[in-house]
A = this chain, B = another copy of it.
Amino acid sequence: MSCFNPYRDHNHQHCIKDALNEARLLCRSRNIRLTPLRERVLELVWQSHCPVGAYEILAELTQGESKPAQPPTVYRALDFLREQGLVHRLSSINAYIGCSHPSTPHNSCFLICTQCRTTIEIEHPAIEHSLEDCASEHGFIIADASIELAGLCTNCKTN
């Protein structure tokens, strides 16, 4: 999944297609409903490797419709997708991004470029390890980790 390194030139249509396919399989296997609306929102989230805001999604949903969609429409779809691990919320920027490996649970680390906004999701054992160590040293049980690194991606730092 997440066919290519998003920093490199790639056919993003593949990413979208793969993400949607995996989502369909996953929901089918879990016996839950990936409705057209939810699928559409997931597709919009996957339009790029940049995080999108809920209201951006809302605007795109509304495109060409007679009646504008309302916030709960988007937030409910996002809630569903997040519960299923198909989408992550980046709390440091109030935005959402498609999960690049939704079938396995994980505490990912996000590298968010402040210039081009491209964001990659990384599972790095050493990070998970050090976080676990840190928590257990303090008798703390991690339920949910938010690890977001803002900075310059490899392309932007040289340009």
Contact = CB atoms under 8 A, between A and B. Distances in A.
Nearest to A148: B146
Contacts of A150: 142-146
Interface residues on chain A, size class:
35 or more
A149 B124 CA distance: 16
A146 B147 contact: yes
Given A141-B157, A147-B146, A126 B133 contact: yes
A145 B148 CA distance: 6
Question: How many of these chains are in the complex?
Answer: 2
Interface in A120-159: 120, 122, 124, 126-127, 129-131, 133-135, 138-154, 157
A91 interface: yes
B157 A151 contact: no
B127 A151 contact: no
